[in-house]
């Protein structure tokens, strides 16, 4: 799978959404305005109450790609 396709099909969990928003330097309200959704929706995504689906997930992926956002959810490597 190409890197571009992987970015567009990324699973958007609460931590990844919050990390993207912080990477962009936006508040929940500002991100919701850019995505055309309610601030409450962003909050619900970030608390894990709901996950973005369909067009919302695709839009988040496009925003992340354009912002050169790379998210690594793997635990930090332990030092010897």
In three-state form (DSSP H/G/I as H, E/B as E, the rest C), the secondary structure along 32-79 is HHHHCCCHHHHHHHHHCCCCCCHHHHHHHHHHHHHCCCCCCCCCCCCC
pLDDT digits (tens, 9 = 90+) for 6-52: 545 568 999 999 999 999 999 999 999 999 999 999 999 999 999 99
CATH H-level, domain 3-66: superfamily: lambda repressor-like DNA-binding domains (1.10.260.40)
Q: What is the DSSP letter of 10?
A: -
**Cβ count within 10 A of residue 67:** 12
Contact 40, 16 (CB under 8 A): no
Quote the pLDDT of residue 1.
Answer: 40
């Amino acid at each position: 799978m190409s890197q571009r396709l992987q970015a567009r099909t990324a699973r958007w969990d609460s931590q990844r959404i919050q990390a993207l928003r912080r990477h962009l330097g936006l508040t929940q309200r500002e991100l919701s305005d850019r995505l055309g959704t309610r601030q409450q929706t962003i909050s619900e995504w970030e608390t894990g109450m709901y996950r973005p689906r369909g067009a919302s997930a695709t839009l988040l992926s496009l925003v992340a790609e354009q912002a050169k956002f790379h998210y690594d959810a793997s635990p930090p490597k332990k030092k010897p």
